[in-house]
Structure 1
Amino acid sequence: MEIRKIRLNNVGRFTDLEVAFAPTEKHASKVTVFVGNNGAGKTTILKSIATSLSWLVGRIRTDNGGGSPIQEDVVTNGERFASIDAEVSGISHPSASASATYSWTLARTLRGHKAKVNSSLTKLTELADLYRFHIGLVDDNGSLPLVAFYPVERSVLDVPLTIRKSEKPFDQFDGYENALNGGVDFGRFFEWFRDREDTENELGISSAVMEQLKKISSSDEKLVSELKNMHLASRDPQLNAVRSAVNKFMPDFSNLRVQRKPRLHMAIDKLGSTLSVSQLSQGEKSLMALVGDIARRLALMNPSLKNPLEGAGVVLIDEVDLHLHPQWQRRLIQQLTETFPNCQFILTTHSPLVISDTKDVLCYVLDDGELEERTGLYGLDANQVLRSVMDTDARNSEVQDRLDRLLDLLQDKKLKEAKALFEELSADLPPGHIELTKASLLIRKLELRSA
């Protein structure tokens, strides 16, 4: 399933805005990125998509289920109503050969006013019924589309591992739990991991036991090989999907697991050293939990796929660069699309590194409620993106003005004034500054000519 386009009427600062999402004819990837200043409306677009898709999720989960309404405080000031129109490509009836397109409208009229636009959810219900038919009558292990929204408020504050006894067993529809309400709970990821690993250990050889057996039988290579094969065969496919996804994004990390001694905690190996997940930096924990949660939901919703990470769906991530080191920001989109190849990603970011390192990404710049598509960003350096896309100077404006003045003086061959300004800048800027190095060469060249 993919969302083709969305139209917002009187939603937030958008009076009438239509947005198309990749893939398009010009953009082969499944990634759309929004950039813009704080308050430009990036989050409003993501929340509107989540609000619209929540009704699809509600009706997939239960007959005539509902979703999140358009809140009154979202309606544009001075207007009486708001509406969100969505167009989605989804599975078709099993007898059809091509995917169909489904459109619906979600509307909200302020109290005390006559409705200008009414909600129209007929096609949404039809699409939800097809998914329910597909997994209920056609294939008990059929796949469901992932739909998830990860807001800015997604820090990992706790790593709970205690399984609540009153909780029902995890099932396929748990992939939708807290997926779109803006309250993503990474704690549920850790609880799920503990539950699956307990079952994995009961049915096979745990990693801890495997390590002990390898030490005891180290001299018998054939036995060690057999034990290793038994261990791999007993691994839980859903957990393997999560482990694989985390390792893909964080190559220095491996063997995510629950340890019972000396106390119950989640552990992971980093460059050969075992650490508690709670000891990781906020950036490491956030990335691990984000990637792990996407993988968990895909694993739950695609029980029959050999590789659950190949499941389809729509993932919305607000400020995708949050807490991430620039090295991780640079390769983030490529890793998302390689790890989850059939998912459509709609992202917002403030980082120039996120949008300049992957081909065919559809990038929009939001400014004062207006939307502009930007192309040709692949391969640009961060400074070019800052200037041309984000309308931000690459360096401190005062320093840049003084450097520009220095260059003008050198071009006008005003050597005395240029040398005085060069000395001032050399005192203020760190040694080896590239612009001062260039200026030093030009000064030397002018001195030689005058001599």
Structure 2
Amino acid sequence: MKFKRLKISDWRQFNEVSIDFHNKVTVITGSNGAGKSTVLRILAKHFSWNCDFLAMPFYDEDKGINIFTNKRQSNSYSNANHKIGEIEYSNEIISSIYIEEHPRTINYDIAIENIDRSIKGLFIHSHRASNNYEITSKIPTGVINAEDSYKNHLQAYKKHLENSSFNGNPTVEMKQSLLSMAALGVGNSYIKKNKKSEKTFTSFIEILKITLPKNIGFKNIRFEVPDVIFETDSGDFVLDSASGGIMSIIDISWQILLYSQDAEHFTALIDEPENHLHPTMQRSLINDLIKAFPNVQFVIVTHSPFIISSVKDSNVYALKHDDSNKVNSHKLDLEEKASTANKILRDVLGVSITIPQWAEDELDKICSMLTAENITENNLNELRTSLDQAGLGEFYPEALYHIVGGKK
């Protein structure tokens, strides 16, 4: 069971949003405030994540009370449900999405009618695991299986997000699980092996060989109790000392692997996977995840042009504001997906020009001497000379785009 289609209309910043989910990869992008994470949170409700939103408060002078509303225009104070969209699943079942027009408090949740709990999946938040060193004080005396390990990891994340402080570090939970799986799962002449835990541990090693950057040459995991050591061609390192980007990939791979041990086909929702990643890692991450987890449907929210264009066989949607400042969905075609990072930033994400602000100001000054109507071979040569003198010669294409009106 997978997600097939999501429709949202006339709610919050949305005018009309319609997203057809690809069987493998769907990427959703757009500027801040366009509603990308809101879409992901609606889907995450299927996986037991809270989906609280804030209603608009106003004071009713006649009644002498505060009223909360979710309607853009409403004279009614009824607490009726209002349909804002629907979700269709791969089994052709359609569930409507409702909100209360006037909730009793400023916080409210959406309601998905007949929500299909048979759809399996996980939500990976944009916040990643901490790599601050914390000793593993508890050496497990019993096997921690994949299901328990995933629950412990998820609980630590939720406590961090809800309380803004860790009560249980996800990285510590990972280390304890790895120690348990290696010692008690693999077994020895005195301890009976647990084949399922052994499989999870060895699978994690194979997954990391796919998802970690090839230039570090990941080889294996070993233990200097209580520490977990990653062996690589570029040198061994303690798990806690991994860079933010490496830790992010390890954490994403770990969560998906754990969930996959009890579910063959499921959906992984990932919010801003580019966080902490070098652009070269952003380009390869999604393809590596597809290779490592071929039965998973990925739904990605991102600002990264490198992720937007990284997978050819995918659906990519941009959430864009229209002239009335409401958001509509726009499906990118193959040509748009194959664009350069600069072109995606400009045409899809609305970054009018992709150079530093000081350079843009200088470019504006130089380009103001030309218009599209008076372009000649001579003044184009003068334009190039002026750009070279200002140290902006490499931005000649951007200057031409600016002159013919592309910036506006």
Counterpart AA for 2:128: R
More strand per residue: 2
Deviation, 1:321, is: 1.1
Q: Deviations over 1:190-234 (max 9, x none)?
A: 3322221121453379xxxxxxxxxxxxxxxxxxxxxxxxxxx99
- Pick closer, same or farther for the CA change 1:331–1:158 going to 2, 3 Å: same
RMSD: 4.1
**What CA deviation, in whole Å up to 9, does each residue of 1:76-105 have, x standing for no partner?**
46576455632222xxxxxxxxxx333334
Cα deviation, residue 170, structure 1: 3.0
Aligned residue number for residue 446 of structure 1: none
TM-score (norm 2): 0.71
Q: Judging changes above 3 Å, is the alpha-carbon distance between structure 1 residues 234 and 43 closer, same or farther for their aligned structure 2 residues?
A: closer
Could you report, residue by residue, the CA deviation over 1:397-434 in whole angstroms, capped at 9, with x for unpaired residues? 3344356468879835259x938x836x445427xx43
Q: Following the alignment from structure 2 to structure 1, what is the Cα–Cα distance between the partners of residues 182 and 94?
A: 41
Q: Is 1:394 paired with 2:374?
A: no
SS of residue paired to 2:276: coil
Are positions 1:257 and 2:221 aligned together? yes
Instruction: Provide the residue aligned with 1:196 in structure 2.
Output: 181
In structure 1, distance between residues paired with 2:246 and 2:390: 35
Counterpart position of 1:217: none
Aligned partner of 1:346 in structure 2 is 299
Per-residue CA deviation, residues 304-325 of structure 1 (Å, 9 max, x unaligned), is xxxxxxx321111111211110
TM-score (ref. length: structure 1): 0.65
Tell me if 1:47 matches 2:10. no
Quick check: 1:10–1:76 contact (8 Å CA) kept in 2?
Answer: no
Residue matched to 1:292: 254
Cα contact 2:147–2:258 (8 A) shared by 1: no
Superposed counterparts of 1:368-379, under 5 Å: 368=321, 369-376=327-334, 377-379=336-338
1:3 maps to amino acid: F
Aligned match of 1:270 in 232, 239, 249? 232
Distance 1:198 1:391, change over 3 A: same
Q: CA deviation at 1:390?
A: 1.8
SS of 1:203's equivalent in the other structure is coil
Q: 2 CA distance for matches of 1:178 and 1:361?
A: 29
CA 1:119 to 1:291, structure 2 compared with 1: closer, same or farther past 3 Å?
Answer: closer
Contact 1:14 1:76 in 2 (8 A): no
Change (3 A) 1:297 1:411: same
Partners of 1:317 and 1:346 within 8 A in 2: yes
| Cross-structure match for 1:142 | none
Cα pair distance change 1:279/1:407, threshold 3 Å:
farther
Aligned with 1:202: secondary structure? coil
What one-letter code is carried by the residue in structure 1 that aligns with 2:394? I
Q: 1:37 aligns with which of 20, 31, 36?
A: 31
- Greater helix proportion: 1
Aligned match for 1:153, one of 116, 120, 127:
127
Worse overlay, 36-45 or 282-291: 282-291
Q: Output the CA distance in 1 between the equivalents of 2:247 and 2:175.
A: 12
Q: Determine the structure 2 residue equivalent to 1:4.
A: 4
1:246 Cα deviation after fit:
1.4
The answer to whether residue 356 in structure 2 is matched with residue 356 in structure 1 is no
Contact 2:144–2:180 (CA under 8 A) maintained in structure 1: no
| Partner residue, 1:103 | 94
Question: Could you tell me the percent identity over the aligned residues?
Answer: 18
Q: 1:266 to 1:177 in 2, by over 3 A?
A: closer
Task: Indicate whether 1:429 and 2:391 are aligned.
Answer: yes
AA aligned to 2:246 is: E
Which residue matches 1:334? 287
Q: Structure 2 stretches of 5 or more lacking a match?
A: 57-68, 162-168, 322-326, 400-408
Contact 2:47/2:123 (8 A) holds in 1: no
Pair 171,284 (structure 1): closer, same or farther in 2 beyond 3 Å: closer
Name which one, 1 or 2, has greater alpha-carbon Rg: 1
1: distance between equivalents of 2:51 and 2:16? 19
Q: Match of 1:22?
A: 22
| Partner Cα distance (1:410, 1:426) in 2 | 18
